Structure 1
Amino acid sequence: MNQTIEVNLSDVLTRLETKIDRLQSDVTEIKIDVEKLKTQNEQMNKRIDLIEKRIDGLDSRLNTLTIGFLSIVGILVTGLLTAVAKLISLPNF
C-alpha cells in the first residue's frame, strides 16, 4: 500500500521560485504602502499643528474679549451702585 509519487524536482523549484517572486512583490507593495501612510501621517500632523495654533490664537482672543467685557460690566455695576448709594444717602440734592 505504499504509493510512490514521482515529482520532477525542477517543477517544484519553479513553483517555489514563482511563489517567492509573488511574496517579494507583495512585500514591495507593502513597503510602498507603508511609506505612503508615513507621508500621510506627517501631513496630518502638520495640519493638526496648524489647527492647534489657530485654536490657541482664538483662545487668547476670547480671553481678551472676556476680560474686557467683564471689566466694562464691573465699571457699569460700580457706577450704578454709586448712583444708587448717593440717591439713598442724599435724597434732597
Structure 2
Amino acid sequence: MKIKLFKISGESMHPTYFDGDYVVTWRSRLSKITIGDVVAIDHPSYGLIIKRVTELNANGSCFVAGDNPNSTPQSSFGLIDKNQVLGKVIYHSSPR
C-alpha cells in the first residue's frame, strides 16, 4: 500500500481542484480504479499529472482527461497503462 501527497499545479482540473491545492492518493494491489476516479499518473511525455478516468479497459489501462474544458485534450494523453497510475485521490485540501 502506498499513500502519497501531491500539490496541484495548473488549472486543468478546475473547478474541482485549483492551483496550489493538495491531494492525497492511495494505491494498493487490491484497489480498483473506476470511471470517474481522479488519479495521479506518471506520464512519459507530460510527467506527473492529475486527471479523471474517463474510460477503462478490461486489462486495467485507461483514458483520462482534465475537468477543465480548456485542459489538454484527452487524445493527447493516449492510453494510460495501469502501471503508470501512482494512485487514486482519496483526500483533497485547499489552502483557500
More strand by share: 2
What TM-score, normalized to structure 1? 0.13
Larger Rg: 1
